[in-house]
Amino acid sequence: MSRRAAVLGHPIGHSKSPALHLAAYAELGDEIDYSAIDVTEESLPAFMASVRGDQRWCGLSVTMPLKKAMVREVDEIRGVARVLGVINTVVFDGEGASRRRIGYNTDVAGIVNALRNAGAAEAPAAAVLGGGGTAAAAVAALQELGAASVDVYVRDTGRAAEARAAARGLAMDIAVRPMTEAVSGMLAADVVISTLPPRAADGMAGELEGLGVTTEGVLLDVAYDPWPSRIAAAWQKGGGKVVPGLEMLLYQAVEQVRYFTGREDAVSTEVIDVMCDSVGAPRRVF
């Protein structure tokens, strides 16, 4: 019997997760059918109830706007997800009536590995754009990279709950600042992570273009459609290095493949290569 997995979110038609996962399972010889399913926050409880008893399901990838809401739909939370209160991965564990839904967060590993692959500095001066669930993962990733503190830029400094909660749980120093100060903060940082939706940083891109200044740090823009984003293009034009969100997506998917197959040591260089090929990303140099 083939198993099932899927990425959940709303909207979800743009997702490249099916291409990444299906390429990996084909290379591994695992019969796992992976699809994209449009699920809203309102419909999530009903969906999770509908799949609970289906023995075919092995895992779920979770994207916006469900990462916070999924916390209420699992039986157990493991790893850094317990601190962040944000889940992007659900694994179905056990059989029959004892079957359980386990929540994880692989976004942190995705960000860390994407930045390391790009040669980002260790112990960086760091800035994060946005204060939601992905920003929480970004704060944890920056701590893992050795950052002593993080400046988090948001449109409303009273609404950065996920980032603040992550910082408290990690005992990480953050300063929540208004988005109007973001450009100057970006220019002072070694690593910038934009967790904003597509086009939400266009105004900052225009400001950077108008200043005509040199950009020296690394910018990871988690948005990958359309690409390049305007902020990424402006950053690169100034001389800075840009990491597309596709890199983060790749590396967090690698971790999910390990969870969904139950084969921790099976994701080889060859598997990662076919995953890269499936979305038009350059193959890794190891």
- Tokens 């760091």: give the residue: 126
Paired strand residues for 34: 5
Q: Which is nearest to 71 in space by CA: 87, 84, 83, 59?
A: 87
Start-to-end C-alpha separation, the chain? 36
Question: Is 237 an active-site residue?
Answer: no
E-strand ranges in the chain read: 3-9, 32-38, 57-62, 76-77, 89-93, 100-104, 126-129, 149-154, 173-178, 191-194, 218-221, 241-244
Burial of 105 (0-12, 13-18, 19+ CB in 10 A): buried
CB of 226 closer than 8 Å to CB of 14: no
Determine the 3-state secondary structure of 133 from DSSP.
helix
Catalytic choice (16, 67, 68, 241): 67
Structure tokens at 70: 């999924």
- Mutual angle of helices 133-144 and 107-117, in 10-degree steps: 50
Provide Rg for the chain, Cα atoms. Answer: 19
Q: Which residues pair with 26 in a beta bridge?
A: none
Provide the annotated active-site residues.
67
